[in-house]
Structure 1
């Protein structure tokens, strides 16, 4: 996410938003291909689209979403692939970190309800807030699945454990 997109007067002009619009159009194209049986996949009748981003593209800027959807419609209209309006369903937007937060307590039903809410009038809202508001049953907090592998995945992580075991304190600023 560029500085212009993050802090500029016209963030919607950043090329990153164009990439997000392309992602929306690609979801619609996939839905159309599935419905038209142009591939091996079938969609459930209640299939929903979710765009995942690395950065907080919509934090405080949910008003840019109609511009993204309008651009996605322009791209779909210009596409060599037929993308009927019926396949241009509303799409939810979420960062990967927000999805990770949601998945700690999500069930299939609560995730589906969150995507449904997030693709409506509340598109671009913080995904974990929407999930907290769903009426669907959620699970107890799940443990982080890679806890046992952290030292293999992040070699420096073992040093943090050693510091704690040695009685040294660790803080955001480093070991003391």
Structure 2
């Protein structure tokens, strides 16, 4: 995913403008945001990196939270169409895919550990990893944040979103 940001600026840094956009995207003030993990080609937030413990003290396992409205809507459409059932069947039938998905789970946990390790969510990643597909939003968020090849189910979902014209990370739809 190509992103744009001013020269020398950390693309993961959260600015007040980012927080304002996130408030519009989510319809509420975002909680626990520690960085922008992926951006639209126009530079707006697409995925936020969230602390594993929210400011109110509650544990929060979803380190990578998908915020881009078109991406969120596209994932919701695919979930309503039961794409998870198809992906779960593929996981069961394809040992290489299952192993890559377990590696994505380990990657997710390692990246979250950089921010803290609440015991209440120890070993719990997101999206159903490492054995099932439960939430496409979380898996796409991880795939966008970590890059292609890290989360195979997230990558497959992004491919489906793009093929179906629901959302394309290479094009701005803000």
Q: Same fold (TM over 0.5)?
A: no
Report which structure shows greater RCO (CA 8 Å, sep ≥6): 2
**Which one has a bigger Cα radius of gyration?**
1
Using the size of structure 2 for normalisation, the TM-score is 0.32
- TM-score, reference length from structure 1: 0.31
